[in-house]
Amino acid sequence: MDFRFLRLATGLLVVIAVVLMTSRGWAHWYGLGPSQDEWGLKYDGEVDPANGDNLIVHFTIADQGRLKPIHSVFVMAFSNPDRTGTNLVKTSITMKPTEDGKLTGQVEVGKKFADRAVIRIFTLTVDGRSQMAGPTAGARYYDIPLKKFQKKAPLTTSSQSRSSIAPPPPSNVAK
């Protein structure tokens, strides 16, 4: 009889441990809506071509604004244009401090994701208050469309000027 109780207790403890461990792993992220001052962020970015079908994304944060301290920065692209659905790309940008106090980093992503990609900035604090307590506990994020940093493609021009192009040969057709 004691054996059955021991098995039941052991099984119950395993179930409780699994449930408690997975609940700690569930992440909750809440998007920050639009802001007139972009949450006080001062940033700059640039998108350059890389080898093959890739782009290099350069991103610099000059002032972390109301999101200070920033937890992490990612380049993300989703299966739906409204930033929902599955992640097609989720690449972390390792932000390193510069001598003048800015944070800068770069990452390489595929060109095919450029139209739907965003730079997503995660923080655990907004306006100096922790967001990790209460019913909406979780990280906050702010999205910056990657399109904002893409340079317009230069118009392709002929290597010859118009005057150096030969006129068409005369026609031999009689009128």
118 vs 27: which has the higher pLDDT: 118
Q: pLDDT above 70 covers what percent of the chain?
A: 70
CA-based nearest residue to 123, from 137, 142, 105, 107: 142
Strand-strand pairing, 139-145 and 29-31: parallel
pLDDT digits 0-9 by tens, 32-89: 888 888 899 999 999 999 888 999 999 999 999 999 999 999 999 888 766 667 778 8
Phi–psi pair at 52, nearest 5 degrees:
70, -140
User: Mean pLDDT in the chain?
Assistant: 79
The pTM is what? 0.69
**pLDDT for position 154:** 40
Domains of the chain, by residue range, sit at 26-151
CATH 1.10.10 fits 26-151, yes or no: no
Average pLDDT of the residues in 150-170: 48
C-alpha torsion angle, residues 38, 96, 74, 70 (rounded to 10): -50
Confidence of residue 24 (pLDDT cuts 50, 70, 90): very low
Higher pLDDT, 15 or 46: 46
Q: What is the pLDDT of residue 116?
A: 87
Instruction: Give Rg (Cα) of the chain.
Output: 27
CA 72 – CA 77 distance, rounded (Å): 16
Of 18-27, 81-90, 138-147, where does mean pLDDT reach its minimum? Answer: 18-27
In which band, very low, low, confident or very high, does the pLDDT at 118 lie, cut at 50, 70 and 90?
very high
| pLDDT band at residue 168 using 50, 70 and 90 as cut-offs | low
Per-residue pLDDT at 4 = 64
**Helix segments in the chain, DSSP class H:** 2-25
